[in-house]
Amino acid sequence: MLTKGQMKIIYDAEKQKVPIKLWLEDIEEGAMQQAMNLANLPFVFKHVAIMPDSHQGYGMPIGGVIATEKVIIPNAVGVDIGCGMCAVKTSIKVEQLDNETLKNIMNEIRKKIPVGKIHQKEEQDQALMPMLLMYNSRVPICSREYRSALKQLGTLGGGNHFIEIQKDTNGYVWIMIHSGSRNLGKQVADHYNKVAIRLNEEWYSSVPKEWQLAFLPMDSEEGEHYLSEMKYCVLFALANRKLMMDRILDIFRCSMIKDGMVTIVDNEPMINIAHNYARMENHFGKNVMIHRKGATSADPNDIGIIPGSQGTKSYIIKGKGNPESFMSCSHGAGRKMSRTKAQNELNLCEEIKKLDDQGIIHGIRHKNDLDEATGAYKDIDTVMENQKDLVEIITELTPLAVIKG
């Protein structure tokens, strides 16, 4: 292993087609094996980049970035297509937000935004949805799921999705949301992964089936359809986050009326960044398909979001455009425990105390809530230190209240 600044390089010409470049020391064995599989794909370009929050995923590590030539890999994008973060800075100062008001706001958010597997009772306004017509007949799965997606719009989902109220170092209140394309993205991902598996078997592909990295040629009908459907899911995930953010801002505006006095709640433009997608980009002088799975773009023009875990700091960042990471960075702190392991091994009382001691309003009550506890994640400060050559911190955010998906 060679070291160059924050980056580590693994390369054995007898075992790998391309090098693996990592921004962490503690990569788990399963994730390392998946990175090695990626490094031996016949169509992989230049190298494999592994972000500092990386852990084992399905086929490709979460926190993995690869470039491919002429093919796209559904499992290198993931199931929750377009999953990402959004954040808004408000004009509210933290001293204007007393504990009772914040609790009332969180209760209203729970009433207005379905979480977990719950969908909307009614279809939402179609004007809020990405237009299907612009994709013509290239989105059969999204077209099939469209009516169902209208009831998923404006919903948080489960797993590691969350809504968090935060304060910055200047005392301004922020709103942050982590959510994705809900069941729509899963239906698209599952469908095209199955198509890719079937076609790869027909072609006697040299990519072993057990690697779970079946691919689609970009110039094939199936590849073109997947690209169109993936793009639609990314737009849907953005529309989903935007609707939730708009409704949360409305809740703040209604809640900041006290003793007949109205506090004007303004906000800066919403920051949005996705971390499960693929798109054509130019790297090292060549147009290639960049797959980011649990990683975000860190181009010099990008303002991004790197959240911590429940109870830890989050960061608004600016990309440094490091070519070695394909201009990418981490999408969060990264798991160090599986959800099941966290539920079985973490102490519920201790995890609740961590949040209570910081005065964070939360809803952790049961063992099942431990899957997203602070103890299940890597240390966000270590993650940020490991990617100093990838991003510059603009704003540090401290949590005030959190709703878990």
The DSSP H or E segment spanning 237 is: helix 221-255
* Four-residue CA torsion sign, 304, 308, 310, 312: negative
Return d(Cα 87, Cα 75) in angstroms, integer: 27
Closest CA to 324 of 86, 2, 70, 79: 2
Q: What's the length of the chain?
A: 405
Q: Which residues neighbour 174 within 8 Å (Cβ) at sequence distance 6 or greater?
A: 87, 88, 89, 90, 165, 166, 167, 168, 397
Kindly name the residue from 47, 55, 178, 331 that is annotated as catalytic: 331
Told to judge if 331 belongs to the known catalytic residues of this protein, a careful annotator would answer: yes
User: With contact defined as beta carbons under 8 Å apart, do 20 and 354 qualify?
Assistant: no
Return d(Cα 70, Cα 223) in angstroms, integer: 10
Q: Which residues neighbour 69 within 8 Å (Cβ) at sequence distance 6 or greater?
A: 43, 45, 286, 288, 289
Return d(Cα 73, Cα 229) in angstroms, integer: 13
Under the phi-then-psi rule, with left for phi > 0, alpha for psi from -120 to 50, and beta for the rest, what region is 260?
left
* Four-residue CA torsion sign, 147, 149, 154, 159: positive
Four-point Cα dihedral 174, 175, 176, 179, nearest 10? -170
Closest CA to 61 of 43, 47, 49: 49
Return d(Cα 204, Cα 215) in angstroms, integer: 12
H helices present in 25-121, as ranges: 29-38, 99-112
Tell me which residues are annotated as active site: 331
